[in-house]
Amino acid sequence: MPHSGSFGLFLTLHVLSAVLLVGPLCVTTAAAPGLVRTGPAGLPRMRAAVRTTRYYPPATILIVLFGLVIVRQGSFGSVRGFGDPWLAASIVLWLAAVSITMTVVARNLQKAVHEIERGGDARRQLPMITIGAAAAVTCWVVVIALMVVKPGS
């Protein structure tokens, strides 16, 4: 059964918004520790990374909204519900990824930028940025895997 009509449209928007938002967010988040290690030379890219890690996570609500539109009518005629464990886990992990990125990675990157601007050493922010980046990217990867595999379905 093809994905036609409104289901096909919203599935396309769901996948497209995931690619355009989660892809750059994961790359930027994963690159953040390396940017901090570059010191003053990496300052312009660190500022851009701060913006990405601050503004992209809340924008991922679009992915969720498009997904909510199609959740009842699953792919190829299957019926989905919020009680599906893989879907509930995906929502929890999405919330975790957004929270970690904004509260740990973006904040500590901003602190690193301020530290470098003052002529200091930003490496003391490195452990939290690295841990936050690893946790957030892991959450995103697991969400994507759950969306593709749909275990237990």
Sign of CA dihedral 36, 134, 128, 90: positive
Q: Is the dihedral of CA 52, 36, 140, 97 positive or negative?
A: negative
Residues forming beta bridges with residue 73, ordered by sequence position: 79
> Residue 72: its pLDDT value, please?
74
Q: Structure pTM?
A: 0.89
pLDDT < 70 regions, the chain: 1-3, 74-80, 153
Contact 29, 5 (CB under 8 A): no
Domain count, the chain: 1
For residue 139, give both structure tokens. 């959450």
Task: Give the range of the structural domain holding residue 77, as residue numbers without chain letter.
Answer: 5-149
Instruction: Identify whether the C-beta of residue 136 lies closer than 8 Å to the C-beta of residue 29.
Output: yes
- pLDDT tens by residue, 37-61: 999 999 999 999 999 999 999 999 9
